[in-house]
Amino acid sequence: MGATYTLSRSIDDASSVAGGGGTVAQNDRDLEAERGLSSFDQRHRFAGDFTIELPFGTNKRWFNSGGAAAALGNWTVNGNAALASGTPFTARVLGSIADVSRGVNGTLRANYNGQPIGVGDPTSALFFDTAAFSVPAPGTFGNAGRNTIIGPGTSSMNLGLTKNITFDQTRGLSIQLLASNVFNTVQFASIDTIVNSPTFGQVTAVRPMRRFQLLFRFRF
């Protein structure tokens, strides 16, 4: 078995320049106001994995002879778990007159009203305190910083059961039963941080639920 834990923090003024997504400053005369958490910042991350060879079959402790040994022998259980805090989001305004005049959209940030952003029990209907933000007055820039809303974290556990059958030195059959998100945990994936959106503060997507796969692989 093995495990790793990572504690990190990344700060920048533009997490993507000339890359897959464009980066436009809210106010090109105040670039220092763009400094904040990187869009890929993830404060905590834990990952663990294990592999266990089951004690059944020939030369093992239990069911070590006859048909039981053939059926139950050479099975291996493996699994991996991942726990991580969320990446940050920015409270923005869409369709502002200033954006339209510059040929961009979504660069105007919201105003931050000073109250705590997080809520004690985030739900799909209210992931963070929407009352902490408001639309700036016409002709003004928002005072909320970049990436001040911490998004949904991840919590997943995957398991696998594998049996290898060898026919000769070059041929064999591998049987695998794989289960992803084995505990069927609901995991939020994305949230709406557009202040003037009717779904502001709500969860807009979830990660896949539990799934099973049965795989057969013949090697020759």
Amino acid at 123: T
Cα 117 to chain centroid distance, Å, stands at: 20
Per-residue pLDDT at 103: 65
Average pLDDT of the segment spanning 68-88: 89
Per-residue pLDDT at 25: 83
pTM: 0.78
Structure tokens at 71: 């059926």
Percent of the chain with pLDDT over 70: 93
Report the C-alpha gap between 218 and 214 in whole angstroms: 14
Tens of pLDDT, residues 128-147: 999 999 999 888 899 999 99
Closest CA to 96 of 35, 137, 131, 132: 137
DSSP code, position 110: P
Q: How confident is the model at residue 82 (pLDDT cuts 50, 70, 90)?
A: very high
Longest Cα–Cα distance of the chain, Å, equals 83
Average pLDDT of the segment spanning 29-49: 92
DSSP code, position 73: T
How many domains does one find in the chain? 1
Q: Of 39-43, 72-76, 195-199, 200-204, where does mean pLDDT reach its minimum? A: 72-76
Report the C-alpha gap between 54 and 74 in whole angstroms: 7
Report the C-alpha gap between 94 and 97 in whole angstroms: 9
Per-residue pLDDT at 189: 92
DSSP for the chain? -EEEEEE---EES-S-SSSSS----S-TT-GGGG-EE-TT--SEEEEEEEEEE-SBSTTSSBS-SHHHHHHHTTEEEEEEEEEEPPPEE--B-SS-HHHHHHT--S-PBPEE-SS--B-SS--SS-SB-GGGEEPPPTT----PPTT-EE---EEEEEEEEEEEEESSSS-EEEEEEEEESTT----EEEE--BTTSTTTTSEEEE----EEEEEEEEE-
Tens of pLDDT, residues 84-129: 999 999 999 987 766 656 666 678 899 999 999 999 899 999 999 9
Closest CA to 77 of 184, 1, 172: 1
Evaluate if residue 168 carries a pLDDT over 80: no
Enclosing domain of residue 16: 2-219
